[in-house]
Amino acid sequence: MTNLVPGTKLVIEEKVMINIGVLASGRGTNLQAIIEAVKEGKIEGQISIVISDNQDAFALKRAEQHNIETRYINFKEFKEREEYDREIIKTLKEKKVDLVVLAGYMRILSSFFINVYKNKIINIHPALLPSFPGLRAQKQVVEYGVKVSGCTVHFVDEGVDSGPIILQKAVEVSDDDTEESLAEKILKEEHQIYPQAIQLFSEGRLIIKGRKVFIKKRSI
């Protein structure tokens, strides 16, 4: 309880709660980590919608279990990528989404989509970019024989896994690691840094200058 001297104004700091839209095609463990971070108050925001291009994506079930609105959009109903993306954008706009989070979303976004949500789309990649972009990064890593890999959260631009880097976390690659065992190790770190990056965005602390992302110190 606050004891106020009469006439003193109580200034309560207003927290901005961003609306998050998640795009996911698969099992959705990153989505799960984000759902939990929101519940625990580690992210000042709410997941307003989860959209999938895959009707059977377990990500959709996870969202439903937490009473989060979902939408499956079948790309076969659209002639071109941009047309499909326009339908997604329509849904995101209806939900007033501030940040688009790609969580295992397996479709390439059109330039149109990237420009509508410029610097408001983020992705997580299971390698230390710019090394090993593209599909099956963990397999590429194991086959190449590097000793350290990890994960990267980055803004999405028009290239493949090439946008400005927000956060990275390294893991050691052991001699006996397989694609699967490495993926599992990396995934644990993904579940930590993805919610952290979303919270930094929500706090307005990510400043993009050219290729670089600067993280502003928290204002007191």
Of residues 18, 16, 21, the one with CA closest to residue 92 = 21
* Axis crossing angle, helix 58-65 with helix 29-39, rounded to the nearest 10: 20
45 touches ligand GRF (CB under 6 A): no
Cβ atoms 111, 152 nearer than 8 A: no
CA 51 to chain centre: 13
Residue 191 a catalytic site member: no
Give the 3-state secondary structure of residue 101.
Answer: strand
Smallest distance from the beta carbon of 130 to ligand GRF, in angstroms? 15
26 touches ligand GRF (CB under 6 A): yes
Q: Phi, psi (5° rounding) for residue 148?
A: -135, 135
Task: Give whichever of 94 and 169 is closer to ligand GRF, judged by the CB atom.
Answer: 169
Tell me which residues in 6-25 interact with ligand GRF (CB under 6 A).
24
**Out of 21, 23, 29, 142, the residue judged to bind ligand GRF by CB under 6 A:** 29
Please provide the size of the chain in residues: 220
Tell me which residues in 123-182 interact with ligand GRF (CB under 6 A).
124-126
Smallest distance from the beta carbon of 102 to ligand GRF, in angstroms? 7
30 touches ligand GRF (CB under 6 A): yes
* Axis crossing angle, helix 179-202 with helix 29-39, rounded to the nearest 10: 40
103 touches ligand GRF (CB under 6 A): yes
Smallest distance from the beta carbon of 33 to ligand GRF, in angstroms? 8
Smallest distance from the beta carbon of 4 to ligand GRF, in angstroms? 47
189 touches ligand GRF (CB under 6 A): no
Catalytic annotation, pick one of 66, 125, 154, 191: 125
Which residues touch 64 (CB under 8 Å, ≥6 apart)? Answer: 70
In the bound state, the residue with its beta carbon closest to ligand GRF is 104
Give the 3-state secondary structure of residue 187.
Answer: helix
